[in-house]
Homo-oligomer: A and B are copies of this chain.
Amino acid sequence: MAGAQGGWVLTATARSPTNIAVIKYWGKRDETLILPVNDSISVTLDPDHLSATTTVAVSPSFDRDRMWLNGTEISLSGGRFQNCLREIRQRARDVENKEKGIHIRKEDWEKLHVHIASYNNFPTAAGLASSAAGFACLVFTLAKLMNVSEDAAALSSIARQGSGSACRSLYGGFVKWVKGEAANGSDSIAVQLVDESYWNDLVVIIAVVSSRQKETSSTSGMRDSVVTSALLQHRAEVIVPSRILQMEEAIKNRNFGSFARLTCADSNQVINTVERWSQFEGAPQVAYTFDAGPNAVLIAPNREVASLLLQRLLFFFPPPPDTKLEGYMVGDTSILQEAGVHSAEDVASLPPPPETKDKNNVQKYPGSISYFICTRPGKGPILLSEDQSLIHPVTGMPK
């Protein structure tokens, strides 16, 4: 084991949020520097629900740079990691820790190696933009450890080289990534439009859908979750077989109406639910967009509307039988109380929403959503205390 015998270990630990683009970036004009062809705007999500936490440790006893992600060692050889490390190391300054009797001079940093431990408080496999939080946190934590004086805008330009959208996770609230003009990317930075307190009644609900992703992806994340396994099994045993039979009938009878209904039903019903509601009311009730994967991200203007949204979501996408509400609705679940939903029984007694045309013949989709995450706009990266370090202060290895 590459411990830290005989040497000191110095650490810094920080937490960074993820973000969801509301105006997305559409392509890159430079793949290596990750320079986009257009500006984009995102909302930073509350790190209590979706964030990366990273500890960077430095010790004269470390013989090489190493990194552990969610407990598993990963290679740091990728260009994106190397770019971020190099850029921060070039800006490193003198560090003095009198308490530990450590003095690192600016020029020492080039010879010192780091151990990095990082974890996400949300499933990577859910298709949420974990790389945004991860690279933002890596750069922010490295900069803290190495006493870098650059501001958030300059750090955002470095995080951008790890993962484009990571630059927007250096701030809370609403953030704009300015595409910039310079060939070296120096002006392709993120700036804060307004902080998280400015429009603080917004509620963000993420519907984690796994079907489309699963149709082609080989990730194995879903196997790990007991909650989703139960849902998966229910869908596999109860919902899909009946749809398969109906689809076979539709094809054999060349029944296009039934074919279309079944095909679309296997597609994105969350958006349909929202669109029906907005059309009924004559104005958009909630905003929606998509994350990296097929997950629908819904944004309600306030808790009252969020409560009406949750009633609809739970009516059309109820947790499967024998599933508790906890685990199906995670994050800030206090809105559930406001929606009058305290248990799976309450879900079962929800009435069809007013925009439902034929209230006696409603199609519900239990099991088509893995789970919902309730969250809100949140703050940018913060430094955590030493007792929250992910790396052991003596061995220099992940705890």
Contact = CB atoms under 8 A, between A and B. Distances in A.
B299 A174 contact: no
B287 A260 contact: yes
A45 to B, nearest CB: 14
A248 B67 CA distance: 38
Contact of A216 (B222, B235, B292): B292
A346 interface: no
Q: Which of A216, A240, A294 has the most CB of B within 10 A?
A: A216
Given A31-B218, A199-B254, A272-B275, A41 B210 contact: no
Contact of A301 (B38, B214, B256): B256
A241 interface: yes
A359 interface: no
A211 interface: yes
Contacts of A285: 260
A26 to B, nearest CB: 5
A289 interface: yes
Interface string A209-249: 01110111110101100000000110110001101100110
Interface in A164-221: 164-165, 174, 176, 179, 193-194, 198-199, 210-212, 214-218, 220
A218 to B, nearest CB: 7
Given A23-B240, A24-B211, A292-B212, A38 B287 contact: no
Given A176-B244, A215-B25, A38 B235 contact: yes
B215 A24 contact: yes
Nearest to A22: B263
A399 interface: no
Contact of A220 (B31, B214, B217, B283): B31
A363 to B, nearest CB: 13
A129 B216 CA distance: 8
Number of chain copies forming the complex: 2
Nearest to A131: B216
A24 B212 contact: yes
A261 interface: yes
A100 interface: no
A288 B264 contact: yes
A233 B37 CA distance: 7
Contact of A262 (B22, B248, B254, B264): B22
Contacts of A301: 256
Nearest to A246: B23
24 contacts: A21-B266, A22-B247, A23-B240, A23-B262, A23-B263, A23-B266, A24-B212, A24-B214, A24-B266, A26-B214, A26-B240, A27-B222, A27-B223, A28-B214, A31-B223, A39-B240, A193-B251, A193-B252, A198-B254, A216-B292, A263-B289, A267-B288, A267-B289, A271-B271
Interface of A: 21-28, 31, 37-41, 129, 131, 163-165, 174, 176, 179, 193-194, 198-199, 210-212, 214-218, 220, 222-223, 232-233, 235-236, 240-241, 243-244, 247-248, 251-252, 254, 256-257, 259-264, 266-268, 271-272, 275, 279, 283-290, 292, 294, 299, 301
Given A24-B214, A31-B220, 4 more contacts: A41-B248, A164-B215, A198-B254, A260-B284
